[in-house]
Structure 1
Amino acid sequence: MSIFRFPLLVWLGIGTLIISLGIRQSFGIFMMPITDTFQSGREFFSLAIALQNLMFGAFQPFIGMAADRFGAKRIIAAGGVAYALGLYLTSIATSTGVLYLSMGILIGLGLSATSYVIVLGAVAKVVPAEHTAKAFGLTTAMGSFGMFAVIPGAQSLLANYDWQTAMQVFAMACTLMIAFSVFMKTSAKNSTVSAVEDNQTLKEALQEAFKHPGYWLIHAGFFVCGFQVMFIATHLPSYISDKGLPGGVAAMALAYVGIFNIFGSYFWGLMGDRFNKRIVMTSLYMMRAVVLALFVMLPLTTESATIFGAAIGFCWLGTVPLTSGLVRQIFGPRYMSTLYGLVFFTHQIGSFIGAWVGGRVFDYYGSYEPIWWASVVLAVAAALLHLPINDKPLVRTAAPVAA
């Protein structure tokens, strides 16, 4: 199937992800101005971002269940409202308590309803199984364009205005997600859900997944992904600044993460369609381990920061089409938003720890070195965890009909 023949829902989902994730990935460059405003240490901002990621994950299984029951369009519209409200309240916050509510809880709720779990769950229902990884890869890749487009825009807003104005501009951008949701449709004639799956209850789907050892290994691998990407997204700008490089270098490095993630996500999605997803995932995590280790060991310069952004970006969110593809491959599309939502919750626990502990370790040791090396070790562990997963699709039989 050509990418140009994908249903309209796929392209509207891409537009939603560009806005939702582009804004989210730009929060790292707000650390310095926000902590200056509140005259606080970095742990304060790190905890707000960590809370956001924890709430993002905690809400996700329930939001996924709601999407499986009521449809993605309603969930995305409600999420757009929560996201915009959280950004606006952040812009007018005068105390740290308000920031925890707005940037932590409200934006976390908005993200859970407008990001990969909901969008990919809807895509899984309209795209044939043999093209799932490619569709997921394209959606992830183009959604990642938001990171490339939004971060330089946020940097420009901070340079010409203040961080409060930047947050308000982002709040207005969230209304576009609400507009996109109006045109999302998952018609019955396009559904890839089988009759047997359609008769399966949510309780049965959860019991089936919880008894599958591979499902828990998928959880463990995605925990590592969350730890790594949120630590880097939150603390890379400060790490680069601590080394005496200009703020523009950090913005450029994150922008390179975004643009190379576009190519990387689609590449890893294609590989997931052509080869065994477990082996592809192992290769991705081993690549991460090498890139992280070289970044820590080599001298930090403008050039090395840019190269790191490109290299880590290439394997940044390639885990998303592969992880979601494994969930869809093993358990089918019927309850994918719920099952992948639970996996994503584990990812966000990792994100919480990566964002918060990064600031905690820096405030205690005055260095990010321990967390960088922890990320290397975890990448190797995640690579090994995917090898024993049994990724064969579960075969279900219809219940006998009573006479």
Structure 2
Amino acid sequence: MSDTRFSKPLIIMLIGSAFILALSLGVRHGFGLYLVPMSTEFGWSHQVFSLAIALQNLLWGAVQPFTGALADKYGSKKVVAVGGALYAIGLLLMSFSSTGVMVNLSLGLIIGLALSATSFSVLLSAVGRAAHPSRRSMAMGIASAAGSFGQFIMLPTTLLLLKEFGWSSALLITAILIALIVPLSLLLKAPMYVAPNNTQSALHPNQPALSFKEILVIAKNHKPFIWLGLGFLVCGFQVVFIGIHLPGYLTDHGFSTTSGTIFLALVGLFNIVGTYTAGWLGDKYSKPKLLMGLYGLRGVAIIAFLALPLSHWTIYGFAVIMGLLWLSTVPLTNGTVANMFGVKYLTMLSGIVFFVHQIGSFFGGWLGGLNHDLTGNYDIIWAISIALSVFGVVVHFFVNEEPVVHD
């Protein structure tokens, strides 16, 4: 029987991935706090900043399969280092942005490209390749939880920087922190796990080499893979809408900016528990069925939040529940892809699924701002979020994680 414990190189990679995701996603989750001060200073409508966020998410997803292919071919370490440098440049340019064009270039284009190289698809795939199959979901859950810890730490830090130094200086300081991703990328060097006795499934690394075109054709014709991607669209729409617009929603109802910041920080804190637990459960139970439960619970939580009288108790209670469900979908979705296709092409295939996620993110971010500008509220987007939860439950009924057999 093979040893399923985490190897020392994998532990080092987990530490490196944890810090990188904490920085990358922690900073990214704080972008919603810049909406009000930047919009107020330059007289922008909410749609200007929301469009930049939507563009960021769309580009992030669109280039993710290509970034994943580069990571599969040349290694995650190089791709993450380049992404970290781009991220810092984007933040520097954002700190000098005074027009919609500039904020779309910096926050939208450059940071969108950077996130494709410094977030889940690249880092979780690297971890997944190095982990024993029976511990893969847990390893991904540990790395995912780190991104949530970054959100918990960086949101109050961002709010403090905004209050003490203003939005421009806060971005300059954040750029320095993000630059640490470049040296941290050197820790991403654990070797790929190879099962003994040639027991890999049909598309695992010791099978005859397939080209990217061949693997894409196989994935395109595999219906459970398509349904999985459509389910991930729901996740993208909901988390970006809530992450970007919930602080504004609370402000509209008379609550302070601090309330929105505490909400997002609590989401990050409890998502540490949620992602780790999801990874642990994913090694024991059906990942598609777990995903059905997660999306169903999100819908119930949103309905309860809107139905109950708005207070600090309901706001923070909603934060705790959503935190447990926030990114728990990530290790389960990526783990399902790994079970379907093996790990050799995991970064690219996870990137394709993530692109669909980011289409949802684009509409969640942009339509939230557009709806607010046109109506002064978010009612339509809340209704869409609830309907999408139902859709998320239904589509995962058609997903299975059985290995794809290649002739």
Partner of residue 386, structure 2: 376
Gap change, CA 1:195 and 1:363, over 3 Å in 2: closer
Partner of residue 137, structure 2: 133
Partner of residue 215, structure 2: 205
Partner of residue 100, structure 1: 104
2:317 pairs with 1:307? yes
State the superposition RMSD in angstroms: 1.4
Gap change, CA 1:294 and 1:3, over 3 Å in 2: farther
2:86 pairs with 1:82? yes
Distance 1:267 1:60 in 2: 26
One-letter identity of the residue aligned with 1:163: W
Secondary structure of 1:165's counterpart equals helix
Distance 1:93 1:195 in 2: 46
Partner of residue 117, structure 1: 121
Alignment of 1:186-225 (within 5 A): 186-187=190-191, 190-191=193-194, 194-197=204-207, 199-225=209-235
Distance 2:243 2:129 in 1: 31
Secondary structure of 1:94's counterpart equals coil
Percentage of pairs with the same residue: 38
Per-residue deviation, 1:256 = 0.4
Distance 2:402 2:188 in 1: 31
One-letter identity of the residue aligned with 2:362: F
Per-residue deviation, 1:159 = 1.2
Distance 2:104 2:179 in 1: 23
2:296 pairs with 1:289? no
Per-residue deviation, 1:200 = 2.1
Which residues of structure 2 form unaligned runs of 5+?
Answer: none
Q: Which deviations, in whole Å up to 9, do the C-alpha atoms of 1:297-323 show, x marking residues without a partner?
A: 111111111111111010000000010
Are the counterparts in 2 of residues 237 and 250 from structure 1 also a CA contact under 8 Å? yes
Partner of residue 176, structure 1: 180
Q: Which deviations, in whole Å up to 9, do the C-alpha atoms of 1:203-258 show, x marking residues without a partner?
A: 22111111100011011000010000000011000000110011111100100000
Distance 2:54 2:251 in 1: 21
One-letter identity of the residue aligned with 2:375: Y
Distance 1:93 1:362 in 2: 23
Distance 2:63 2:391 in 1: 27
Distance 1:218 1:198 in 2: 26
Are the counterparts in 2 of residues 48 and 100 from structure 1 also a CA contact under 8 Å? yes
Per-residue deviation, 1:181 = 0.8
Per-residue deviation, 1:25 = 0.4
Q: Which deviations, in whole Å up to 9, do the C-alpha atoms of 1:160-189 show, x marking residues without a partner?
A: 11001111111101121101112321336x
Distance 2:288 2:363 in 1: 25
Secondary structure of 2:270's counterpart equals helix
Alignment of 1:282-361 (within 5 A): 282-361=292-371
Distance 2:118 2:97 in 1: 24
Partner of residue 401, structure 1: none
Alignment of 1:220-259 (within 5 A): 220-259=230-269
Per-residue deviation, 1:26 = 0.5
Distance 1:162 1:276 in 2: 47
Secondary structure of 2:283's counterpart equals helix
Q: Which deviations, in whole Å up to 9, do the C-alpha atoms of 1:81-130 show, x marking residues without a partner?
A: 11000000000123221111001000001100000000011112110111
Are the counterparts in 1 of residues 205 and 343 from structure 2 also a CA contact under 8 Å? no
One-letter identity of the residue aligned with 1:92: F
Per-residue deviation, 1:373 = 1.5
Are the counterparts in 2 of residues 282 and 386 from structure 1 also a CA contact under 8 Å? yes
TM-score by length of 2: 0.95
Q: Which deviations, in whole Å up to 9, do the C-alpha atoms of 1:129-153 show, x marking residues without a partner?
A: 1111111111111221000000000
Per-residue deviation, 1:2 = 5.5
Are the counterparts in 1 of residues 235 and 329 from structure 2 also a CA contact under 8 Å? yes
One-letter identity of the residue aligned with 1:205: I
2:48 pairs with 1:38? no
Are the counterparts in 1 of residues 6 and 131 from structure 2 also a CA contact under 8 Å? no
Partner of residue 25, structure 2: 21
Secondary structure of 2:180's counterpart equals helix
- How many residue pairs get aligned? The number is 396
Distance 2:146 2:205 in 1: 32
Select the residue among 385, 391, 397 that pairs with 1:387: 397
Which residues of structure 1 form unaligned runs of 5+?
Answer: 398-403
